[in-house]
């Protein structure tokens, strides 16, 4: 009986001895149908193995329960976790996710978006690739389904999309202040390209320094793509630079932090004693580095859920002004930011 499910609503109707309209109502849980009738129909459906053709339904009703997810790097555990939170929330409301990993490639992003569009999607959640251009923004605006951006803001001058982010400024502030409180006095900032989010983070960094009456020294701010390899390279360059005497650093994210841990280990620097390191994201690996990494936790799972919630809300009601939701962060202190008493 594994025939290509051409069992339709009509077959159910004749099996149950009602009209197709009634069957349709039953499927959609309408309160119009009499309980007895519903029972008959449901049984008929089971008897003949009916599978709802949601595409036909969506087609006719011009609606959709598919949400398009565009994420720039799913192999980053933070985003994978975020995805999981997102999907769970969507599933709870009967939505399902078409996913595209863009690998930071703006072209792939545009291409996949166009393919997704053809499926009449209910809404998009986007964590845009680097180099996302106006063409993409325009494309998003053109279509009238809601769009929510997460973590990274879409480079839209009009800020016309909802945006869910972590309070990275506060996080960076907490991280920096913590190192200063530990007694470190030459705290650098490592990683990230010159983006709006990073600017925001640096504000937190600078605020903490100024609260301790310390000057910001641009030599101590290192700009690079936030990868493990670059973290290692950065710390090496900084430590070997003659006119820099770093004794701690705040990292753009945990990947960078892992790189610096590694670099420092290699340089024979005792992290958590003579040098403090703080990461950002609190990925699972942070708890298991040597020494364990102090990190700013921006609950990925939670952010995913929030983004999903926002999108679902927009799908219902797309009249509000765009909002920017900032989820709180917290500092998770482990050994990498410790300090040996002088």
Partner DNA sequence: TAGAGTTTTTGGAACGTTCCAAAAAAAAAT
Partner DNA sequence: ATTTTTTTTTGGAACGTTCCAAAAACTCTA
Q: Catalog residues that contact DNA under the rule CB under 7 A.
A: 6, 8-10, 18-22, 24-25, 27-28, 31-34, 36-37, 50, 52-53, 56-57, 59-62
Q: Which of residues 206-235 bind its own copies (CB under 8 A)?
A: 228
Q: Which of 254, 301, 298 is nearest to 278 (CA)?
A: 254
User: Considering only 127-135, 171-179, 198-206, 257-265, which stretch makes contact with its own copies by CB under 8 A?
Assistant: 257-265
Nearer to its own copies, 69 or 246 (CB): 69
Q: Is 288 in the site for its own copies (CB under 8 A)?
A: yes
- 77's tokens: 């555990």
Question: Would you give the end-to-end CA distance of the chain in angstroms?
Answer: 78
Among 58, 130, 207, 335, binds its own copies (CB under 8 A): 58
- Give CA separation, 28 vs 32, 66, 121, in Å: 10, 17, 20
Q: Which of residues 125-164 bind its own copies (CB under 8 A)?
A: 141-144
Phi, psi of 81 (to 5 degrees): -65, -40
- CA 204, CA 30: separation in Å to the nearest integer? 53
Out of its own copies, DNA, none, what residue 100 binds, judged by CB under 5 to 8 A for its kind, is its own copies
Q: Are 259 and 280 in contact (CB under 8 A)?
A: no
Per-residue binding string, its own copies, 93-112, x by CB under 8 A, is: -x-xxxxxx-x----x--xx
- CB within 8 Å of 220: residues ≥ 6 apart: 186, 187, 188, 189, 238, 244, 246
- CA 173, CA 168: separation in Å to the nearest integer? 8
Among 117, 186, 233, 339, binds its own copies (CB under 8 A): 117
Q: Is 294 in the site for its own copies (CB under 8 A)?
A: no
Nearer to its own copies, 63 or 210 (CB): 63
Out of DNA, its own copies, none, what residue 252 binds, judged by CB under 5 to 8 A for its kind, is none
Among 84, 214, 244, 325, binds its own copies (CB under 8 A): 84
């Amino acid at each position: 009986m594994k025939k290509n499910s051409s069992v339709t609503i009509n077959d159910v109707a004749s099996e149950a001895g009602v009209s197709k309209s009634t069957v349709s109502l039953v499927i959609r849980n309408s309160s119009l149908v009499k309980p007895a009738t519903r029972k008959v129909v449901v049984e008929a459906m089971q008897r003949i193995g009916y599978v709802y053709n949601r595409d036909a339904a969506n087609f006719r009703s011009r609606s959709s329960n598919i949400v398009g997810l565009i994420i720039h790097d799913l192999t980053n555990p933070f985003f994978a976790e975020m995805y999981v939170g997102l999907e769970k929330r969507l599933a709870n409301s009967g939505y399902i996710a078409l996913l595209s990993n863009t690998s930071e490639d703006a072209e792939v992003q545009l291409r996949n978006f166009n393919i997704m569009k053809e499926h009449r999607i209910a809404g998009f959640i986007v964590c845009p690739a680097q180099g996302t251009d106006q063409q993409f923004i325009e494309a998003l605006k053109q279509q009238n389904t809601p769009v929510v951006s997460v973590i990274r803001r879409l480079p839209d001058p009009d800020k016309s999309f909802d945006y869910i982010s972590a309070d990275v400024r506060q996080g960076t502030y907490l991280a920096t202040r913590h190192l200063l409180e530990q007694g470190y006095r030459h705290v650098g900032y490592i990683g990230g390209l010159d983006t709006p989010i990073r600017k925001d983070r640096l504000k937190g960094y600078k605020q903490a320094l100024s609260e301790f009456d310390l000057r910001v020294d641009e030599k101590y701010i290192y700009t690079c793509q936030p990868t493990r390899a670059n973290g290692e390279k950065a710390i090496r360059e900084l430590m070997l630079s003659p006119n820099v005497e770093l004794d701690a650093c705040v990292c753009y994210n945990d990947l960078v932090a892992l790189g610096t841990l590694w670099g420092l280990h290699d340089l024979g620097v005792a992290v958590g004693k003579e040098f403090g390191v703080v990461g950002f994201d609190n990925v699972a690996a942070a708890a298991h580095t040597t020494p364990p990494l102090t990190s700013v936790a921006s609950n990925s799972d939670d952010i995913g859920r929030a983004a999903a919630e926002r999108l679902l809300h927009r799908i219902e009601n797309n009249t509000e002004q765009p909002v920017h939701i900032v989820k709180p962060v917290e500092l998770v202190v482990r050994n990498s930011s410790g300090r040996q008493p002088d």
